[in-house]
């Protein structure tokens, strides 16, 4: 996956953090959308797909942990990184158990963030085409591994 294909949603109630992260990530070649609240972030996620959501932990309306739980239920394809200046070991463990990719201390080190994105999104996964196989047989083969997978099925004649 190319960097320009990766869509990142940054949610933070501090506008200076949004500006710094947005500029830094755009400079690295990513597509970035920002918002100042988890409620607005949820509205955006209802209409658009994002590869990654960076969210602050402490926000006035909805906490980053509650937003993480919402994302995992309504936008499960999105990876989530939680950012905070006030994290505890317990909070970090809870976030990671609930599906957060990681937990970064503020101010976020852009090179560390870029490494997480490179390893877990840019260079992750397999993409390809399989043809001349019965769909039922393919699904049986995929489920044999007992791992969660996301597959997209396209009819070649209609795309």
Which pLDDT value is given to residue 148?
Answer: 65
Report d(CA 140, CA 144) in Å as an integer.
Answer: 6
Please count the residues of the chain. Answer: 159
pLDDT digits (tens, 9 = 90+) for 90-102: 988 889 899 999 9
Split at pLDDT 50, 70, 90, the class of 141 is: confident
Which pLDDT value is given to residue 44?
Answer: 97
Average pLDDT, the chain: 88
What is the DSSP pairing of strand 52-56 with strand 79-84? parallel
Report d(CA 82, CA 146) in Å as an integer.
Answer: 28
Average pLDDT for residues 7-26, to the nearest whole number?
96
């Amino acid at each position: 996956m190319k960097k320009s294909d990766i869509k990142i949603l940054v949610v933070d109630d501090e506008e200076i953090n949004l500006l710094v992260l947005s500029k830094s990530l755009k400079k690295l070649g990513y597509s970035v959308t920002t918002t100042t609240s988890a409620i607005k972030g949820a509205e955006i996620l209802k209409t658009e797909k994002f590869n990654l959501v960076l969210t602050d932990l402490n926000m006035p309306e909805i906490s980053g942990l509650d937003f993480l739980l919402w994302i995992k239920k309504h936008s499960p394809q999105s990876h989530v990184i939680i950012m905070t200046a006030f994290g505890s070991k317990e909070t970090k463990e809870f976030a990671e158990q609930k599906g957060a990719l990681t937990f970064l201390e503020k101010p976020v080190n852009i090179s560390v963030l870029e490494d997480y994105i490179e390893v877990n999104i840019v260079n992750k996964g397999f993409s390809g085409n399989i043809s001349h196989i019965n769909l039922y047989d393919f699904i049986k083969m995929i489920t044999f591994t007992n791992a969660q997978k996301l597959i997209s099925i396209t009819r070649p004649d209609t795309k």
